[in-house]
Structure 1
Amino acid sequence: MSRETIRRDLKLLANRGELEVVHGGAMRRDTLDIPQPQRTTRDSGASGRQAIGQLAASLIEDGATVLLDSGALAGAIVSGLLGKRDITVCTHSLTHALALVRHPLIRVFVLGGQVDATEEAAFGVDTVLALDSYSCDLAFISARGFTSDGEPTDTTRHGAELRARMLLAARRPYLLADHAQFQRTTPIRIPNSDRAAGLLVDHAPPETLADAFRRNGLPVTVAGTSVRTD
């Protein structure tokens, strides 16, 4: 079959509305309408994440060394770092590292290990051991959910192990969660949560969970307000 025949057939199908001609070929129109899960996940709750990111960035002073978790919630802090001076960031997130490394006033250290394609971040024994080389002023660590007694949880064992170690690697480690995490319990508890200096959120937690946080001595600060519970 000649190229001219292929082009003619593609044009005919496009005129019928069955194909969309794109650079390098063609796609069925129904595939163009399929939702993109990753983009949708990142866009949902964006305003809440942005508020948490701004609150977290306000805690970071010039000259600080910051340990930054992977994921969209910790990623919301990145834009707030761009106005800081002499900042050092340690992260296992390739996404956050690439976003920050282009800025001359920010030094970036990447924690090595096996890269998880979903989170675009390193996990595993090598990543945990790499933390021993760093002493950080602050850490910002995402919780994927909470138990009924107010302990943070994760979706995977390797994620929980790394985040537990991150809680020990900074003088002031903070947990991050948006309101969706209040209704979610993921299967693996994150140890060392008693080391957290506070929990930064976009909405006040339900009263039962707020009571659990108070019993655990975990201060909760709601982004965009003056609300803080101890």
Structure 2
Amino acid sequence: MLLAEERRLRIVDWTLNDGRIDAAEAANKLGVATETVRRDLDVLQRRGILRRVHGGAIALERFAHEYTISERLNRNSDAKRRIAETAAQYIPREGCIFVDGGTTTEFLATTLRNRKDLLVVTNSVTLASKIADSSTKTHMLGGRIRPTTLSAVGAKTVEDLRQLNAVVSFIGVNGISPELGLTAYDTDEALVKHIMIENSVERIVLADNSKFGSIYPVTFGGPKDVDRLVTDLETDDSFIDRFTGSGVEVVVA
């Protein structure tokens, strides 16, 4: 049997690695009662290491840390792929769509290729490079490229985007919560996401389970700005219920 502090160190390690921790799952791994883990989570919250959420906790570092592209590609990649595959059914046969920069939205690339009647407008260098050599019409927004995300941002990006309208927008998030809505780490990227939402007939948000309950500095939209939310099976039911109650159609991949 592990000592209390050894047990808490393992909980912290799991939480930092995965972004969040489920109390029941941790209890099963540790061979202790779920209530014991809940008490440990309360202790760790008082120490400022994590924040308690329904069913478990999330790491406080996620409130300020922006992961690199390689880090994000390796986080929940299977869930992100399933989300993108499910979201692909909402891509129209023709017209203009917006796809913002992000590792989840980049998984749409395969299904965006060779759609000759579709115009894809994106600020993602990575996504554009994956579809530009196909028959799909690709519009890469101008602007300054952020090294962390390889996405175009800034005055030029905003100027280009404000002149365009889309049938559907596919938007990724850094964090999402019923209280604070859709959040991003960077102000410039948040503005691009906001305008894409504003200039779209239908707004679809792609978010894996690790994004729920996470809070980042800039809010760029709320539940009223989302028509459809595509997530994965691991997302807590309480989050799904609250977004559904706000009128958002939630699709589980």
- TM-score, normalised to structure 2, is 0.68
How far apart in 1 are the matches of 2:100 and 2:164?
14
- 1:205 to partner: Cα distance: 3.1
**Corresponding residue of 1:184:** 214
Assess if the C-alpha contact under 8 Å between 1:49 and 1:178 holds in 2: yes
Assess if the C-alpha contact under 8 Å between 2:206 and 2:229 holds in 1: yes
* Count of paired positions: 186
- 1:183 to partner: Cα distance: 3.6
* Match 1:153 to one of 183, 188, 195: 183
Larger radius of gyration between Structure 1 and Structure 2: 1
Deviations 1:110-139 (A, max 9, x none): 111111011111112221221122121111
Alignment RMSD: 1.9
- 1:101 to partner: Cα distance: 0.6
**Corresponding residue of 2:121:** 90
How far apart in 1 are the matches of 2:222 and 2:178?
17
- TM-score, normalised to structure 1, is 0.74
**Corresponding residue of 2:23:** none
**Corresponding residue of 1:126:** 156
Assess if the C-alpha contact under 8 Å between 1:63 and 1:88 holds in 2: yes
Note closer, same or farther for the CA distance 1:38–1:110 as it changes in structure 2 (3 Å cut). Answer: closer
How far apart in 2 are the matches of 1:137 and 1:204?
29
1:165 lines up with 2:167 in the alignment: no
How far apart in 1 are the matches of 2:102 and 2:141?
15
Map 1:65-80 to 2 at 5 A. 65-80=96-111
Secondary structure at the counterpart of residue 140 of structure 1: strand
**Corresponding residue of 1:143:** 173
**Corresponding residue of 1:226:** none
Runs of 5+ consecutive residues of structure 2 not aligned to the other structure = 1-67
1:54 lines up with 2:102 in the alignment: no
Deviations 1:170-207 (A, max 9, x none): 11111110011014111211136523211111226323
- 1:57 to partner: Cα distance: 1.3
Map 1:213-228 to 2 at 5 A. 213-223=243-253
Secondary structure at the counterpart of residue 221 of structure 1: strand
**Corresponding residue of 1:227:** none
Deviates more, 1:197-206 or 1:177-186: 197-206
Secondary structure at the counterpart of residue 128 of structure 1: helix
1:140 aligned partner, one-letter code? F
1:207 aligned partner, one-letter code? D
**Corresponding residue of 1:41:** 72
- 1:59 to partner: Cα distance: 1.0
**Corresponding residue of 1:110:** 140
Assess if the C-alpha contact under 8 Å between 1:167 and 1:192 holds in 2: no
1:64 lines up with 2:95 in the alignment: yes
1:142 aligned partner, one-letter code? G
- 1:219 to partner: Cα distance: 1.4
Assess if the C-alpha contact under 8 Å between 1:160 and 1:191 holds in 2: no
How far apart in 2 are the matches of 1:108 and 1:58?
19
How far apart in 1 are the matches of 2:216 and 2:222?
17
2:220 aligned partner, one-letter code? I
How far apart in 1 are the matches of 2:211 and 2:155?
27
Assess if the C-alpha contact under 8 Å between 2:101 and 2:149 holds in 1: yes
- 1:83 to partner: Cα distance: 5.3
